[in-house]
Amino acid sequence: MKQLLVVMAALLSLAIAADGRQLYSQNCAGCHGANGQGTAGVFPPLAGNPRVQHEAYVVKAIRQGISGPLEIGGQTYNGMMPAMPQISEADARAIAAYTSKLGGTPTAVSPEPTPIPTDPALAARGKALFLGQTRFQNGGAPCMACHTAGNFGPMGGGSLGRDLTDLHTRLGAAGIQGVLTSIAFPVMRESYKGKPLTPEEISALTAFFARTAGQPANNNQMDIARMLFAGLIGFGGLFGVMYLFWSNRRVGLAERIRSRRSA
């Protein structure tokens, strides 16, 4: 009986570990790498990372996200990991159990030699996808609905997500592909649920971001301020004209009423 229990416990822990591995590859591998090796300067390594030995730390990272400066394996990180509250506490613990066993040294591999797509036609396709001129195969919303990138004039794009002009400089091609493969930022995740980007679309977008990286950041705010200002002046002018017109009419109306009374 005791032996049976031991066997069952062993099987159970195996099942949990397997589960943890699967959950890891679904939710984390896109950014932290298949073996938790990370990407130097972009995604910290989890394998061999002493902080990852603490279950509570990992569970919190998963459920609440992490941002702000981190240092591990002689590298600094200052990125943004999205909160994933959709991963239950129990699943987060299974993932933590799995990541705590990932051996190795916490030295992140330098960005994988993902070739930076420089093909201008591919970048143009990425731009069209970003702007919504070309539809995503699986029907995801155009990025432009929530982000800006590069300078597309006064009404560049949405402001729900941040400006992505310097994305390529910050994350590199490997980082961009990680983020877009496992889309995890809450608002964005909802928007792409069941509508993943295809690898081809991801590489077109990466090529596009490689191009915008050299451009000056979007000065949307300035443009909007200028437009508002111009609008106010225009509005003020219009109002002035209307006032003159109206005050004339008012006199006219009063006179008409008076003249009607006297008539």
CA–CA distance, 55 with 2 (Å, rounded to integer): 29
Only segment of 11-19, 51-59, 112-120, 238-246 that touches ligand HEC (CB under 6 A): 51-59
Confirm or reject binding of residue 123 to ligand HEC (CB under 6 A).
no
| Interaction between residue 44 and ligand HEC (CB under 6 A) | yes
The binder of ligand HEC chosen from 12, 145, 228, 241 (CB under 6 A)? 145
Task: Tell me if 146 contacts ligand HEC by CB under 6 A.
Answer: yes
Q: Candidates 117-125, 145-153, 236-244, 246-254 — which segment interacts with ligand HEC by CB under 6 A?
A: 145-153
Max Cα distance, the chain (Å): 115
What is d(CA 49, CA 29) in angstroms, rounded to the nearest whole number? 16
Q: How far is the CB of 229 from ligand HEC (least distance, A)?
A: 27
User: Which amino acid is residue 195, in one-letter code?
Assistant: K
User: Are 163 and 217 in contact, with CB atoms under 8 Å apart?
Assistant: yes
Stretch near ligand HEC under the rule CB under 6 A, chosen from 11-19, 24-32, 109-117, 253-261: 24-32
Instruction: Compute and round to an integer the Cα radius of gyration of the chain.
Output: 28
- Does 173 help bind ligand HEC (rule: CB under 6 A)? no
Report the alpha-carbon distance of residue 86 to residue 65 in Å, rounded: 12
How many whole angstroms from its chain centre is CA 170? 13
Assess 80 for contact with ligand HEC (CB under 6 A).
yes
Other C-beta atoms closer than 10 Å to the C-beta of 233 total 10
Structure tokens at 256: 């008409």
Which residues sit at the interface with ligand HEC, rule CB under 6 A? 27-28, 30-32, 43-44, 46, 49, 51-52, 58, 61-62, 66-68, 70, 72, 77-82, 84, 87, 95, 99, 141, 143, 145-147, 160-162, 164, 167, 178-180, 182, 184-185, 187-188, 191, 197, 205
